[in-house]
Amino acid sequence: MPHPPIVLANASASYRGRTVFSGIDLTIRAGERVALLGRSGAGKSTLIGLIHGQAARDIALVPQAAALVRTLSVFHNVYMGRLDRRSTLHNLRTLVRPAKADVEAVRGVLARVDLGEALWARAGELSGGQQQRVSVARALYDGRPILLADEPVSALDRRQGAAILERLTEHHATVIVALHDVPLALAQTNRIVVLDAGGIVLDAPARDLDAGTLARFYEAAA
């Protein structure tokens, strides 16, 4: 599914009156796999908000907090990824009595994040890692071409995180993901963007970089 490139030109953002960053130029073309790196507070989530504002219609979002409705079942939370593409009547009916086809579709998506058995559990009763996977499943089910994810695997161990991330990248044409795990970013993406001190300090293909080069952007924090 092609989509127009995302272009941020001289973008700036402030949070509670404090400028988080300014003069950001960033273009992301269809088919790219981009990792956003940087210390916490560097503005990754703010940048993700800006990107979402640019292309909301084409984006499947995995927000930083899993943002689940705790009182609804896992099924309904995942189903919410496609609320906008169904009639409201169908959505209301699904709250009470889901259609078999929807249940099977959601069950399939949940199986991809190893949560097939939790279909009818209340989202609020799951562990943090499970909730994060439900949030990922919602984006998978959403299925729009650009995946925009803010720390989607932070609550999982590295092996499981890598597996989930791989499945995410399989199903979306374009992937933009904020991460703090450098080896994971190098393995799963082909372009690395590092934010620091209110600007982009590095933007390079992943194959030109290694963990050692990137480490200094984190060490500076210590």
Pairing between β-strand 6-15 and β-strand 18-28 as defined by DSSP bridges: antiparallel
Residue in 15, 22, 31, 69 binding another protein, rule: CB under 8 A: 69
Compare residues 125 and 170 and give the one whose CB is closer to another protein: 125
In the window 39-58, what residues touch another protein (CB under 8 A)? 49, 52, 56
If one asks whether residue 197 binds another protein (CB under 8 A), the answer comes out as no
What does the DSSP 8-state code read for residue 64? S
Question: Using the rule CB under 8 A, which residue among 105, 119, 184, 209 binds another protein?
Answer: 119
Would you count residue 105 as binding another protein (CB under 8 A)?
Answer: no
The structure tokens listed for 63 are 């927000």
Q: In Å, how far from its chain's centre is CA 76? A: 19
Q: Answer yes or no: are the C-beta atoms of 58 and 5 closer than 8 Å.
A: no
Residue matched to tokens 């990754």: 44
Does 103 sit near another protein (CB under 8 A)? yes
Residue 23: CB minimum distance to another protein, A: 23
Asked if 95 interacts with another protein (CB under 8 A), we say yes
Give CA separation, 106 vs 21, 52, 172, 212, in Å.
39, 24, 17, 41
Tokens matching residue 174: 């374009």
- Residues lying near another protein in the complex (CB under 8 A) are found at 49, 52, 56, 59, 61, 63, 65, 67, 69-73, 76, 80, 83-84, 88, 91-92, 95, 97-98, 100, 103, 119-120, 122, 124
